[in-house]
Structure 1
Amino acid sequence: MTATADPNIELLAHLHFITVERYHAMIEAGILGEDDPVELLNGKIVDMSPIGRFHAVCVRTINAHFVQLLAGKYVCSQEQPITINEGSEPEPDYVIARLSEHNYLDHHPYPTDIHLLIEVADKTLPRDRGAKRGIYARAGIPEYWIVNLIDRQLEIYSAPDTTAGTYSQERILNERDTLPDHPLAGTVAVSKWIPG
């Protein structure tokens, strides 16, 4: 009896790593449109999940909170790309970055520009806790939050270990908790950000 290779394993062995430069070239050539729901993660073009009502309300609430506090001091952007390294250009739900003289006209924010990055997670929770958390930690993003709509909690990750691709500090606040006196967010009742 002849052994046959699993076609899925065979296919995975022949994937090509996509660089940020190639990804941009695909966008500029019209192969990928600006409205295509994809992002570049670890050299792979990955489908993004459609945005549901609860997710959208949460992102709008976060935006209103930070714009009121930080307008003119930082760049506050929602669902816009950031360039991590040669193989990742995710589109986080919310980013707080330093002000740029050219308003990031010549490039998307880099990890050194970013103070805080937030993902709002429902069906994307495994990816946000897994691949994305690893990408953000390896890039040295100093603080990464997940607004977890499934477990109704705020997950705060800080102190990135760029070698291991992990965060050494983790704090979980449930919807009855309050985050006090954060340098960027001020004081936030977690329930304010979790709809329903």
Structure 2
Amino acid sequence: MTLQERISVSTAPEPYRVTQRDYKLLDESGAFVRYAKTELIEGKIVAVNAQHAPHIRVQSTLFRALADACDAIADGPKAWIDGSIDLAEFSMPQPDIFIADTLPDKGAVPLSTVRLMIEIADTSLRNDLNVKTPLYANAGIAEYWVVDVEGRVIHQMWGPVAERYAERRTVAFGERIEAATVAGLTVNTGIL
């Protein structure tokens, strides 16, 4: 049903779900210039919180460790920061860190190349656990980590089933974390 058909059928106001195509057009037109970062989550354009020192410190340190760990895996994937992921028609998130097999020459990162998504939660823990977990699981992201900066733990999830992950564990800062779905990817979280 088109938007015009829906408007003529409905008498109550309804929010309009933005598609990836709409989101890209808005971005290209400069609509988000005054925002540091936006994401498309289930048809809603979300302005992402500012990143403060604790978030930046953890993101940068973890990224460097993951990049080194990926480089140590022969023909392995690579670590990246803040890329737009082509998740679904109504979602294009920008995880803080992600592990992917390749990057395209242009456009968003294809979902099929993503092996692991990581969100750094300084002020966004509730959103990362309650909104992004089912979103990523439903899309089939094999593994998802939420780094709880204040709690000093990493919530590691894998084995997506519908809108949840079948497997979970919590790794305290200071312990080693081993990716469940990327063979050989291990990081010492004592650096965080």
- Report the TM-score when normalising by structure 2: 0.83
Report the CA distance between 1:74 and its aligned residue.
Answer: 2.2
Extract unaligned runs of 5+ from structure 1. Answer: 1-11
* Counterpart Cα distance in 2 of 1:92 and 1:179: 19
Correspondence for 1:88? 91
Alignment of 1:156-195 (within 5 A): 156-161=156-161, 163=162, 165-179=163-177, 183-186=183-186, 188-193=187-192
**1:52-74 superposed Cα distances (whole Å, 9 cap, x missing partner):** 10110111111211222224732
Report the CA distance between 1:13 and its aligned residue.
Answer: 4.8
Amino acid in the other structure paired with 1:189? N
User: Structure 1 residues 171, 134: closer, same or farther in 2, change over 3 A?
Assistant: same
Report the CA distance between 1:122 and its aligned residue.
Answer: 1.5
> Is the 8 Å Cα contact of residues 100 and 113 (structure 2) preserved in structure 1?
yes
> Is the 8 Å Cα contact of residues 153 and 190 (structure 1) preserved in structure 2?
no
Q: Report the secondary structure of 1:25's partner residue.
A: helix
Extract unaligned runs of 5+ from structure 2. Answer: 1-11
Correspondence for 1:74? 77
Report the CA distance between 1:80 and its aligned residue.
Answer: 1.7
* Counterpart Cα distance in 2 of 1:13 and 1:154: 41
Q: Report the secondary structure of 1:61's partner residue.
A: helix
> Is the 8 Å Cα contact of residues 27 and 34 (structure 1) preserved in structure 2?
no
Correspondence for 1:9? none
> Is the 8 Å Cα contact of residues 35 and 47 (structure 2) preserved in structure 1?
no
* Counterpart Cα distance in 1 of 2:153 and 2:175: 9
How large is the Cα RMSD of the aligned pairs?
A: 2.1
Q: Report the secondary structure of 2:168's partner residue.
A: strand
Correspondence for 1:41? 41
Q: Report the secondary structure of 2:165's partner residue.
A: strand
Report the CA distance between 1:51 and its aligned residue.
Answer: 0.3
Report the CA distance between 1:159 and its aligned residue.
Answer: 0.2
Correspondence for 1:98? 101
Amino acid in the other structure paired with 1:49? N
Q: Report the secondary structure of 1:144's partner residue.
A: strand
Aligned residues: 176
User: Structure 1 residues 112, 15: closer, same or farther in 2, change over 3 A?
Assistant: same
- Report the TM-score when normalising by structure 1: 0.82
* Counterpart Cα distance in 2 of 1:177 and 1:69: 15
